[in-house]
Amino acid sequence: MTEAATRAATRVAEPVTIRPYRPLDHRACWDLWAELIDTKRELYQDPTIGGTDPGAGFEEYLTRLDLAGIWVAEHRNDGVVGLIGLVLGARRAGQVEPVVVAERWHGRGIGRTLLQHVANEARHREMIALSISPDSRNIEAIRCLHAAGYDVLSSITLTLDLAPRGHSWQDGLDAHRSARSLTLAPASTFGFPAASEGFRSFGDDELAQRRPIRTLCGEQRPRRAPDCQILEAYTPYKGPGVQDLHV
């Protein structure tokens, strides 16, 4: 089989195949997108996420000018059961968005195989890095991504809550109570600045032994490594000017 054919259709485990998205997959991928939004609504206890139609965002996604490719996981009998997309980024980097597997197919390695497939596609396009932004409350997804090799912490998003009565944020430590101490190792990869030392992040002890999570710093660094900690899953961060962070 040629390299192009191998990339076009990757066999997972009978009878599931990874292949490029086709127009006939639209309904199934719409449903998968809706399932992804429903998961976000449940995680954040907010039924307004995604608007009135949780699958409508898929239409807008298909019109993105920076969309490099979409692939699906197809089951011989059940049809499309997984979806993954590759979005072009700056500096020869890419963004994985979205990645979703039908709930009834969780735990069968389909998500990891989709991630491996899109990584191969990115290498073929001579990209030097891939990033993905899971919801901070989705512990299952974070652990799956970490096991698939996404072990560099490259950004943190902070939010200012402007709602009059606030939102139903969870305390970060409580949200990630089951995760226990994973040291962030120094890293210098993909041509980005080297990672800072002295940070800690979430993790499972077994994962910590196999692969540490790393963090990349921006060009502007403090004069010394800050005495700070990323507590339980990289979102609850204690550092200069940050007293408390919720997810």
Amino acid at 4: A
Give CA–CA dist 106/103, Å, rounded: 5
**Residue-wise pLDDT tens digits, 51-105:** 999 999 999 999 999 999 999 999 999 999 999 999 999 889 999 999 999 999 9
More confident residue, 207 or 49: 49
Residue 44 is predicted with a pLDDT of 87
Q: How do residues 159-187 score in pLDDT, each as one tens digit?
A: 788 877 766 665 554 444 444 333 333 33
**Residue of higher predicted confidence among 2 and 71:** 71
CA distance 77 to 93: 36
List strand residue ranges (DSSP E) for the chain, in order.
10-11, 16-20, 67-75, 79-88, 93-101, 129-131, 152-153, 182-185, 200-201, 213-215, 229-230, 237-238
19 pLDDT more than 70: yes
The predicted structure's pLDDT at residue 12: 54
Distances (CA, A) of 112 to 4, 201, 243: 20, 22, 36
Spell out the domains of the chain, with CATH numbers in brackets: 1-132 (3.40.630.30), 156-247 (no CATH)
Mean pLDDT of the chain: 72
pTM of the model: 0.68
